[in-house]
Amino acid sequence: MPSDGAPDPGPEYPGLLAWPQEALEESFVALGGRHFHARVAREQLLGKGVLDYDSMTSLPARLREALKTEIPLLSGTCTRRVEARDGTTKLLLDFPAHETGKGGGVEVVHIPPLGSKRGQGATLCVSTQIGCPVACPFCASGLDGLARNLQPHEILEQFAQGRALGELRRVVVMGIGEPLLNFENLALALEQVHEHMGLGARKITVSSVGFPERLHRAARTQPRFQLAISLHTPDDDQHDELIPALRGTPIDEILAAGDDWFQVTGREGTYEYVLLGGTNDSPQHAERLVGRLGGRRATVNLIPYNSTRGLGYHRPAPEDVEIFATLLREGGLVATVRHSRGADGAAACGQLRMHS
């Protein structure tokens, strides 16, 4: 309680988006504002990407002044901004320690559409954990293991920061971390994204290695987003190597859990497959993948490996990527090739956490 007779703004939360709505409204009133001003501030931050109180001109000036000293707007600090030649922008956001673990940096990537589609809104790639415990040997995100899960407001702040860079059209939860290991916080954050940013289920894709139990459980919560399963190989022994956290889990179990999800959301299955030259990119791999996914109406998104210093893999030749994609198509699957964006800013898939 402040001793000078100033109104008590209530308990401390690390940022505006961490406040429960009712408590926030009460604090706004205690600071001389009205209840609805709390909603306005939240909408300005999330819906418009307004990152400072001074620019929230629809709030009374005196309230803005009070807010500046009493309620921190953001808990994370943007410590670095790197723009690649293709317009992709990577932000490094640093979050403080929390009772659940150490603090640290995560990355948010804002990917504007290319060429004539400019102005239609960008794709935002967001992170769910500080570090990652899955330890895929081709990915830089898990090099130091997991520090902690991001809190819902920390996930949301990435949306606000991304929105500040321009209109958003699509969201991919494909940054640092394994979303299914922080599913509750992610789901809470996405509810607000839905409400304040108007991004519906079809516009949000969450990528996961697909822990079967968690997938089954998550499917029952009527998720408001699409799922993409990172598969990377049709072979169980190679899967153990490429996705160590799932060692011993049969691929068929992962696929069955995915089927459960795709049935609930009424969408076709989507799988991601990072193509590692000489490792999982042979025509035989493609044929076995067709066999594994047999009968499913599925899309396989091929991601030619993006180099991550010292990880010892290489990107396949473009002809080999084409052959792989063609074999999948001949096997009745939809195959797309993800063209790397932002590589010169170290913002492409698997490069996040490599501080260029």
Q: Which residue, 207 or 299, is less far from ligand SAH as judged by CB?
A: 207
Cβ at position 48, least distance to ligand SAH in Å: 28
Separation CA 286–CA 68 (nearest Å) = 57
Q: Are strands 146-149 and 129-131 parallel, antiparallel or unpaired?
A: antiparallel
Extended strands (E) in the chain: 77-83, 89-95, 104-111, 122-125, 129-131, 146-149, 168-173, 204-208, 226-230, 269-275, 298-304, 334-337
Q: Smaller CB distance to ligand SAH: residue 53 or 262?
A: 262
CB of 247 to ligand SAH, least distance (A): 15
Number of Cα atoms under 13 Å in the Cβ half of residue 72:
12
- Rounded to a whole number of angstroms, the minimum distance from the CB of residue 134 to ligand SAH is 6
Picking from 239, 123, 224, 234, the residue whose alpha carbon sits closest to that of residue 183 is 224
Minimum distance from residue 136 beta carbon to ligand SAH (Å): 6
Query: How far apart, in Å, are the Cα atoms of 247 and each of 177, 178, 222, 237, 243?
Result: 18, 15, 28, 9, 7
Tokens 């289920």, residue located: 201
Burial class (CB in 10 A: 0-12, 13-18, 19+), 239: buried
**First and final C-alpha spacing in the chain:** 45
Nearer to ligand SAH, 107 or 157 (CB): 107
CA 161/CA 124 separation, integer angstroms? 10
CB of 128 to ligand SAH, least distance (A): 8
CB of 105 to ligand SAH, least distance (A): 16
Give contact residues for ligand SAH (rule: CB under 6 A): 136, 138-139, 174, 178, 207-209, 230, 272, 274, 303, 305-306, 308, 349-350
Which amino acid, one-letter code, is at 36? F
Residue 41 or residue 174: which is nearer to ligand SAH going by CB? 174
Judged by CB, which is closer to ligand SAH: 95, or 305?
305
Q: Is 46 helix (H, G, I), strand (E, B) or coil?
A: helix
Which residue, 125 or 327, is less far from ligand SAH as judged by CB?
Answer: 125
| Interatomic CA distance for residues 233 and 146, integer angstroms | 24
Where in the sequence numbering do the catalytic residues fall?
107, 349
Minimum gap (Å) between residue 312 Cβ and ligand SAH: 11
Q: Nearer Cβ to ligand SAH, position 133 or 166?
A: 133
Q: Fill in the DSSP letter of residue 255.
A: H
Burial annotation 56-92 (CB, 10 A radius, 16+ → b, else e) = beebeeebbebbeebbebbbbeeeeebebebbbbbbb
d(CA 317, CA 338): 14
